[in-house]
Amino acid sequence: MAAPARTFVDFGFGAIGAGLMLYEAARSKRFARLVVAEVVPETVAALRRAGGVYTVNIARPERVDAELVGPVEALDPGAAADREKLVAAVAGSTEMATAVPSVEFYGRGGASSVAAVLAEGLARKTLAGGPRAVVYAAENHNRAAEILEEQVLAAVPAELRAAVRAQVAFLNTVIGKMSGLTADPAGQGLVPVTPGSARAFLVEEFNRILVSRPAFPEPFRRGIAVFEEKPDLLPFEEAKLYGHNAVHALAAYLGAEQGVPAICELRAVPGFTKFLRAAFLEESGAALIARHAGLDPLFTPAGWQAYADDLIARMTNPHLGDTVERVGRDPRRKLGWDDRLVGTLRLCLAAGIRPARFALGAAAALCALDPGAAAGEGRAREALLGLWEPAGPDAGERGAAVETVLGGLRRLLAWRAAGKPALPGFLAGEGGRA
């Protein structure tokens, strides 16, 4: 007997939903039906006019290729008829994904919210004996799957919760794929999402996505086989946040100091990629290897070096078209106690590593947030303490982090005063073990 046809349901038609989740589901050729839930009626209408087919521009090392994806069935959960179709699709699905702006969006929209639609569809799946399924939570949060599961189960009738939990697995993801939705497609030589659209998806070809392993009693064969399962994603989430994201932010804030508009142009700044590589290997990498040694080949000197070299080449890919402004946006969040810059400083300090390069980047981010911080250490200190107050950090660790960033601020000001010479020479001997 033939296996039942697979259905894939995606919530959110942004760069990750369209350029990764639906794209990989279509490429797998294992799904008979692709469904996307999108709350912007104009986007749904444009997809329908295009027959459910859209374009993704793929940035490769040597060129950009435009690939057609679809057909997908576009549904607006805010429209009653579409919502019913979406609930039915969830009930019959084998794989789903949420790719909305953040975990805060799970419950927004009342009956049309992601959590409400999933709850109703999964309850229906359970009552009808529908197929077992997984849900990839693609939001940038290391507890996204747990948060989504909590909200969904809270909306499921109490008597069905245990059965739903046994039928569906919510999976966390580590997505190192750089992507975006860009304006002015024609001006950038890109193919728009649909004919006549003023926007275009541009994503890198990288697709090594890590997902948590579903805890079903028997094996579950996923349709998107390219995703790699890990029993514990937390170390890899830390590698992305304190490796990939931290170095990307470092490149943006110090690139802004250099007056460079595009990330790819940093390749031409003397010593800049050497500086980024040293931060990757000697600071965050050394700390993460110490923390997770023996867990995976990634957390070895050779594994981390390969990871760093690959990422720096991908970050500075001229065909990706990434800007310093985009990567450096929202410095308040990036200077958060647990986020990429300060979180990396803390990781290094805990391992006895002097994070001179990340301290310089954190200082540059602080000056981007509040230019007045460069005028005096008192103001800089006050700004940092205000940023970190919601996290309630330990006073001793907080003090060490403040002094580390202030040390970076002194070096930043000295670097500016010296005419911003090549960074590796300027910081010679300052990184590494304390």
Q: Reduce the DSSP state of residue 1 to 3 states and report it.
A: coil
CB under 8 Å to 198, separation ≥6 — which residues?
183, 184, 185, 192
How far is Cα 136 from Cα 251, in angstroms, rounded to an integer? 30
Confidence bin at 88 (pLDDT 50/70/90): very high
Average pLDDT of the chain, as a whole number = 93
What SS3 state is found at 160?
helix
pTM to 2 decimals? 0.89
Q: Residues 294-306: pLDDT tens digits?
A: 999 999 999 999 9
- Both tokens of 403, joined, read 């002094």
Find where tokens 């948590």 sit. Answer: 212
Closest CA relative to residue 250, chosen from 272, 267, 269, 268: 272
* Statement: residue 140 has pLDDT above 90: no
The candidate with the shortest Cα–Cα distance to 134, out of 172, 89, 163, 77, is: 172
The model's confidence at residue 218, banded by pLDDT at 50, 70 and 90, is confident
CATH topology of domain 7-231: Rossmann fold (3.40.50)
Cα 99 to Cα 119, 148, 228, 280, 424, distances in angstroms: 17, 12, 18, 28, 39
The rounded distance, in Å, linking the Cα atoms of 386 and 22 is 41
Per-residue pLDDT at 245:
94
**Token digits of residue 421:** 């010479």
pLDDT digits (tens, 9 = 90+) for 154-170: 999 999 999 999 999 99
Sheet containing strand 64-69, strands side by side: 64-69, 54-59, 199-204, 179-183
- Percentage of the chain surpassing pLDDT 90? 86
Residue 434, pLDDT above cutoff 50: no
Tens digit of each residue's pLDDT (9 = 90 or more) over 123-138: 999 999 999 999 999 9
Mean pLDDT in residue range 203-227? 91
Q: Provide the pLDDT for residue 170.
A: 97
Instruction: Report pLDDT for 349.
Output: 96
The span from the CA of 60 to the CA of 317, in Å, is: 8
Determine which helix (DSSP H) or strand (DSSP E) holds 23, and give its type and residue range: helix 22-28
Averaged over 86-95, what is the pLDDT?
Answer: 96
Average pLDDT rounded to a whole number, residues 89-97: 97
What is the pLDDT at residue 365?
97
Evaluate if residue 23 carries a pLDDT over 90: yes
Residue 252 burial by Cβ neighbours in a 10 Å radius (0-12, 13-18, 19+): buried
* 2, pLDDT greater than 50: no
pLDDT bucket at 357, cuts 50 / 70 / 90: very high
Could you tell me how many helices (H) and strands (E) the chain has, helices first? 19, 14
Give Cβ neighbours of residue 95 (< 8 Å, ≥ 6 apart). Answer: 6, 8, 9, 25, 31, 133, 134, 135, 136, 222, 223, 224
Provide the CATH topology of domain 235-433: N-(1-d-carboxylethyl)-l-norvaline Dehydrogenase; domain 2 (1.10.1040)
Give yes or no for residue 429 having a pLDDT over 70. Answer: no
CA 77 to chain centre: 25
What is the pLDDT at residue 239?
95
pLDDT band at 430 (very low <50, low <70, confident <90, very high): low
Q: Which helix (H) or strand (E) holds 37?
A: strand 33-37
Residue 284: count of CB within 10 angstroms of its CB: 33
Q: Where are the domains of the chain?
A: 7-231, 235-433
Distance between CA atoms of 427 and 368, rounded to whole angstroms? 21
Tokens standing for residue 96: 């789903």
Place of tokens 């295009």: 50
State the pLDDT at residue 142. 81
- How far apart CA 270 and CA 257 sit, in angstroms, is 14
Phi and psi angles of residue 56, each rounded to the nearest 5 degrees, phi first:
-120, 130
Using the structure block, give the residue that is written with the tokens 């995976």.
296
- Measured between alpha carbons, how far is residue 399 from residues 383, 391, 394, 403, 430 in Å? 13, 14, 9, 6, 20
The confidence band for 257, taking pLDDT boundaries of 50, 70 and 90, is very high
Buried-state track 2-35, b at ≥16 Cβ within 10 A, e below 16: eeeebbbbbbbbbbbbbbbbbbbbbebebbebbb
Q: Inform me whether the pLDDT recorded for 1 exceeds 50.
A: no
Q: What distance in Å separates the CA atoms of residue 325 and residue 322, rounded to the nearest whole number?
A: 9
pLDDT at residue 260 greater than cutoff 50: yes
